[in-house]
Homo-oligomer: A and B are copies of this chain.
Amino acid sequence: MGAVILHVTMSLDGFIAGPDVGVDHPMGVGGLRLHEWLFNADTNETDSTIVKHHFAAVGAVVLGRRTFDVGIDIWKDTPYPAPSFVVTHRGRDDLPMNSSTFTFVTEGVETAIHQAKAAAGTKHVTLMGADVAQQAIRAGLLDEIHLQLAPVLLGTGRRLFEHLGSEHIELERTSVTESPYVTHLRFRLR
């Protein structure tokens, strides 16, 4: 079985998007700053290798409804070429796209992750969106965190790690890789 991973860029002060995420600002106001390293990844071998390996390893995606709503006009496809499960309260029919299909899951994050694992086979399930990530952590379903730590303090925005309760969750740092634009940190949840 593959792992359930969270692969995301976070500012040093803990934000994965700016404030007011919406169709007009899919990364929140000012949030594109976080993805500057991606714009440069083509010219930087460390980053491009990590991005390439990540994309190749993803066998299914679980994303929140808001991530779907603000992302679909940008991707015009599934976010990865892999079955994509949208956690939502409003059920709708499967939505076939060019590379793969969106399936809408109304039974919650745990069900979505189980379906995604079945679809991913030996590949990884990747999570998108802070809500989905937090729910997966609370449910004990997240295996790995692949963080790109951006050297910036955003000040405000969408925090990655909150609403996790008060139990400590121990991590094992499995790798650290420096690139000119970010610090890649990987952790395994124990």
Contacts and interface: CB of A to CB of B under 8 A. Distances in A.
Interface in A141-190: 145, 147, 149, 151-156, 159-162, 164-173, 176, 178, 183, 185, 187
A51 interface: no
Contacts of A160: 13
B176 A183 contact: yes
Nearest to A29: B166
Interface in A131-149: 137, 145, 147, 149
Q: Chain A interface residue count: which class?
A: 35 or more
Nearest to A169: B153
A12 interface: yes
B155 A166 contact: yes
A97 to B, nearest CB: 34
Interface of A: 12-14, 19, 30, 33, 137, 145, 147, 149, 151-156, 159-162, 164-173, 176, 178, 183, 185, 187
For the complex of A and B, 7 pairs with smallest distance between CB atoms:
A13-B161, A151-B171, A153-B169, A155-B164, A14-B14, A156-B166, A155-B166
